[in-house]
Structure 1
Amino acid sequence: MAGQETTAVPGNPLRDERDKRLPRIAGPCSMVIFGVTGDLSRKKLMPAIYDLANRGLLPPGFALVGFARRDYKDEDFAEVVLDAVKAHSRTPFRQEVWDQLAEGVRFVQGTFEDDAAFSQLATTLAQLDQERGTGGNHAFYLSIPPNAFPQVLKQLSRTGLAKPADPGPGRPKPWRRVVIEKPFGHDLESAKELNALVNEVFPEETVFRIDHYLGKETVQNMLALRFANEMFEPIWNSGYVDHVQITMAEDIGLGGRAGYYDGIGAARDVIQNHLLQLMALTAMEDPISFHPRQLQIEKIKVLQAAKLVEPLDETTARGQYAEGWQGSEHVVGLLDEEGFDPQSRTETYAAITLNVETRRWAGVPFYLRTGKRLGRRVTEIAVVFKRAPHLPFDQTMTEELGQNALVVRVQPDEGITLRFGSKVPGSSMEVRDVNMDFSYGEAFTESSPEAYERLILDMLLGVPSLFPVNEEVELSWRILDPVLEHWAAEGKPEPYESGTWGPSSADEMLARSGREWRRP
């Protein structure tokens, strides 16, 4: 019939290809946020949920439930969500979208020790199943300190919320999932204990550990860059790569986060999760498919092969920021920040050296660094290539020529830079570094979703590709623990001036091998 949709036939390959390109829309469900009054919920989670709704990726009956000690009614909590959405959402505010979302907003007052509050939560979710058609599908987001996990997990188990009831023959089985924010423990032993505790209540396939860096478009683009472009494969190995630098630098201090950060430090906060995951994506072999388990297998292989380069006093560095100038602003040092112990040995700068002992990467050092109060805010992966074995130029013609590098800019100016040598216009053969630049903002008219949008949607869909599993977490701690033990036996971290690029020991760490850090 003229005008009839021909792709509606089951198994039609045209329809199958079209469906792969269609946006993935979550089915009926709700999300419960514990710690809903915190900054993460207000600045990231609530806006991400609204943005997903605004993009048509949440079901019409989606429900959002907040759990906290505040004396809120449902409408009070809805106002809190609305304020957060207007202040922090990425997409434009549309009243009709908000009105539909607000119909599913609920609030349960209580503490984590309050049995009655969790019983009320169970009642609220059962009502939402009836009123909003959430179908018994509920996600629990633990935006709370790790020391509160045992109590919340115990309550979810006690009330039966962690395990859906059997719907009976012929009916789809509902799902329950739990989302955990980092840190995933503070060392290998505590990570194992935490994983065992969580898995007592939620099977591993229903556990989603959030690493928001893995939700960033530029991080995911590393997979496209490597495996969709044949030009890079022949040189993505120790035959051509000299070393890899992975950097996450911040230009801010701790401010009011002293209570959280003291005793954790830069290595636990960033290297154990973010940077080791970026390294795994950079060094992994091509998976046989992009099925979540295949991606996890290849990342695990990299983490299993990663070994610290010794001696650690020469291949690692740590520091604490001291007073200095951040741009035009004079800032105080860490030990003068409000709430910080003047005798603290917590590092705000950390750098380590790793080898990935595989055929592809044998002999290629991976340098991972992170720090606060550095020169500028930037996260990047720099693959630095070996120098040409022979330069038929006079040395004076190549004084400004560095090493070729492919730099993936994760934030804030998302994109890719390729650095190579080019002749300077003129009569002499003078060669100088130039950059070829790709910018997401200029190449695509569509703005990149926030990381939490992608991760929350994947969790609601039950797609775990971007979420570290138990083995990844424990392998990462296995790598980092010896460094933390080594530092614990040393004195205080080396001070470095705010606004610079870290302690002198970090520069010396690379200088021993004739290398130097990039200055982004």
Structure 2
Amino acid sequence: MSAQAHGANRQTSPQWTNPLRDPRDKRLPRIAGPSGLTIFGVTGDLSRKKLMPAIYDLANRGLLPPGFALTGFARRDWANQDFMQVVYDAVKENARTPFHQTVWDRLAEGIRFVPGSFDDPEAFDQLAETIKELDTERGTGGNHAFYLSVPPSAFPTVLQQLARCGLTDQKDDAWRRVVIEKPFGHDLSSAQELNDIVNDVFPEESVFRIDHYLGKETVQNILALRFANQLFDPVWNAHYVDHVQITMAEDIGLGGRAGYYDGIGAARDVIQNHLLQLMALTAMEEPVSFSPRDLRAEKLKVLEATKPVGPFDETTARGQYEGGWQGGSLVPGLQEEGGFADDSTTETFAAITLEVESRRWAGVPFYLRTGKRLGRRVTEIAVVFKRAPHLPFDDTMTEELGQNALVIRVQPDEGVTMRFGSKVPGTSMEVRDVTMDFGYGHAFTESSPEAYERLILDVLLGEPSLFPVNDEVEQSWKILDPVLEHWAAHGRPESYKAGTWGPDSAETMLARTGRVWRRP
């Protein structure tokens, strides 16, 4: 018997028991109760590279119940053993934690596969029967989450099928939940339509919209940095902050994703969800508690107070990358990669200016930018402070002194950097910028979990703090829609060379107010 199939024939009915501990003791991890997860679109890259490895890593860390069940649904002529091999290969290639045969054997006992298409009622009837069997064999107790790793166009069909065969029914104390990947619509009206479709089948408290950036350890550290330290709160406002820059840059192109990406673009793909969520966490007021309700309430207040700054010809920028040199290699431009229409106006770089109309942030611009084929891969939040009102130095003493900044590095080198002025050693008084750096990898011995580990566990625990709700999604579109409408009416994006930091208009966008973009 192969290693990956070992254990699949053992018939056991493990029972999960909650650890005897005070739930307020945060030193011990929370372990998911009896439950199962069904993945639609299980043959896609997301499932193979992120979801299945994350499930193994959770099992390896002892955070899944012994009877956990994983069911795959796809249009493949596979048996359970075939799907088990797919999961095994994905785990061996992409898991974060070391491979342990005993962990795999226990996980493999709960792996099932149901073949079929989304419009096949018989396949969903078989899925319902499989889940019923898992409740008996694995002790999942009727608790199941359905992960829709599929295009939004398939949501109505899948949801209707789940409802038709009774898989959305929540009986007694058991729960049923649905997990949805972005994009959450194409604009405000489509987002509202999508939310209506989902909420017709699942109540809002059972809907988990995945924004994997919110699962990153460094993003969650924004809350700890701001609210656990008195050091920062007194200066976290318009009296001291000059502006905020939030950047998500990628050094790769679209490659095989061009067909998917055309018509979506950088603003819809990244700004509407990732960057606006990062901005909300940066600008929000201190919540009464870190309960999902209180945390969401403060984020929503920020989004409701946020407006795009005009005129958009001067306060926004967009571009499409051309071929050029990047990392010592000559890379193709967007049009050479194929999959894009020659006359496409879909942007691969987007930058916008926002303002938060609140007492704390009045007059402070928030600059958000994202793009493909930029100088390097990095995501960061830079809070840039105003210059000191009086400098008792000659200009020559401080000509190399910039503005103080606090930079939260989300990826790839997770940590926090503070930039401030210091005297240069020597007999003369010369001040220049220095940095003080905190890195997760240096300060903690345990590596940070992948975002999908945290988010999948939160789904199974019913912990919704890191998942945007209807109101947040719709408010984000209200912020972005005016910019998108302006761009749609004003021709093609500007070109920029691969390996640079975007089009010239992005530099002009900040230069008009005497500011410059950071070079991470």
* Shared fold (TM-score, shorter chain, > 0.5): yes
The answer to whether 1:133 aligns with 2:139 is yes
CA distance in 2, matches of 1:175, 1:287: 28
Name the counterpart of 2:216.
216
Q: Which amino acid aligns with 2:485?
A: E
Which residue of structure 2 aligns with residue 117 of structure 1?
A: 123
Give 2:488's aligned residue: 488
Gaps of 5+ in 2: 1-19
Alignment of 1:412-491 (within 5 A): 412-491=412-491
Superposed, which structure 2 residues align to 1:222-237 within 5 Å?
Answer: 222-237=222-237
Work out the CA distance in 1 between the residues paired with 2:393 and 2:152.
59
Q: Aligned residue for 2:43?
A: 37
Match of 1:7 in 2: none
Shift of 1:344: 1.1
Q: Distance in 2 between matches of 1:21 and 1:437?
A: 27
TM-score, normalised to structure 2's length? 0.96
- In structure 2, the residue matched to 1:26 is 32
Provide the rounded CA distance (Å) in 1 between the counterparts of 2:26 and 2:483. 44
1:337 is matched with 337
> Aligned to 1:275, what secondary structure does the other structure show?
helix
Q: What's 2:15 paired with?
A: none
- How far does the alpha carbon of each residue in 1:166-210 deviate from its partner, in whole angstroms, 9 at most, with x for none? 34xxxxx10000000000000000000000000000000000000
Matched, 1:382 2:388: no
Deviation at 1:394, TM superposition (A): 1.2
Residue deviations 1:243-286, cap 9 Å, x none? 00000000000000011100000000000000000000000000
Note the 1:278-293 alignment, pairs <5 A.
278-293=278-293
Give the alignment of 1:146-161 within 5 angstroms: 146-161=152-167
User: Counterparts of 1:234-245 in structure 2 under 5 Å?
Assistant: 234-245=234-245
**Superposition deviation, residue 20 in structure 1:** 3.1
Q: How many angstroms apart in 2 are the aligned matches of 1:289 and 1:353?
A: 30
Q: Are 1:318 and 2:318 an aligned pair? A: yes
Show the counterpart of 2:346.
Answer: 346
Structure-1 separation of matches of 2:340 and 2:349: 16
Structure 1 residue 55 corresponds to structure 2 residue 61: yes
Alignment check: 8 A CA contact 1:150 1:197 kept: yes
Q: Deviation per CA, 1:414-455, whole angstroms, max 9, x where unpaired? A: 000000000000011100000000000000000000000000
Residue type of the partner of 2:70? L
Q: What is the aligned counterpart of 2:76 among 70, 73, 80?
A: 70
Q: CA contact under 8 A between 1:351 and 1:368: conserved in structure 2?
A: yes
- CA drift of 1:22 comes to 1.2
Cα distance in structure 2, aligned partners of 1:404 and 1:496 = 30
The one-letter amino acid of 2:266's match is A
1:162 aligns with 2:168: yes
Aligned-partner residue type, residue 361 of structure 2: W
How far is 1:18 from its partner? 6.5
Aligned to 1:20, the other structure's residue is in SS state: coil
Name the SS for the 1:277 alignment partner. Answer: helix
Provide, for residues 339-392 of structure 1, a one-character-per-residue CA deviation record: whole Å limited to 9, x for no partner.
221211110000000000000000000000000000000000000000011111
Match of residue 104, structure 1, among 85, 110, 126: 110
Identity within the alignment, %: 78
Q: Distance in 2 between matches of 1:256 and 1:506?
A: 27
Q: Which residue of 1 aligns with 2:14?
A: none
Where 1:50 maps in the other structure, the secondary structure is: helix
5 Å-filtered alignment, 1:250-289, equals: 250-289=250-289
Is 1:84 the counterpart of 2:90? The answer is yes
Amino acid aligned to 1:55: R
- Contact 1:335 1:344 (C-alpha < 8 Å) held by counterparts: no
Structure 1 residues 194-252: Cα deviation after superposition (integer angstroms, max 9, x where no partner): 00000000000000000000000000000000000001111000000000000000000
The correspondence of residues 178-189 of structure 1 with structure 2, limited to 5 A, is 178-189=178-189
The answer (yes or no) to whether the contact 1:248–1:379 under 8 Å persists in 2 is yes
The aligned residue for residue 508 of structure 2 is 508
CA distance in 2, matches of 1:68, 1:94: 28
Secondary structure of the 2:71 match is: strand
The alpha carbon displacement at 1:19 in A equals: 3.2
CA distance in 2, matches of 1:369, 1:397: 33
Whole-angstrom CA distance in 2 between matches of 1:462 and 1:226: 26
Equivalent residue, structure 1, for 2:150 = 144
Deviation at 1:318, TM superposition (A): 0.2
- The RMSD of aligned alpha carbons is 0.9
Measure, in 1, the Cα distance between the counterparts of 2:212 and 2:364: 27
Gaps of 5+ in 1: 1-11, 168-172
Deviations 1:74-100 (A, max 9, x none): 011000000000000000000000000
Distance 2:338 2:356 in 1: 40
**Deviation beyond 2 Å, 4+ runs, structure 1:** 15-21
By how many angstroms is 1:21 displaced?
A: 2.3
Q: How many residues get paired?
A: 501
Question: Are positions 1:175 and 2:139 aligned together?
Answer: no
Secondary structure of 1:16's partner? coil
- The amino acid of 2:161's aligned partner reads Q
Q: In 1, distance between residues paired with 2:22 and 2:54?
A: 29
* Residue 335 (structure 1) shift: 1.3
Q: Distance in 2 between matches of 1:231 and 1:258?
A: 45
CA contact under 8 A between 1:335 and 1:343: conserved in structure 2?
no
Q: How far is the alpha carbon of 1:332 from its aligned partner? A: 1.1
Which residue is equivalent to 2:519? 519
Between the aligned partners of 2:33 and 2:23, the Cα distance in structure 1 is 21
C-alpha distance in 2 between matches for 1:517 and 1:509: 10
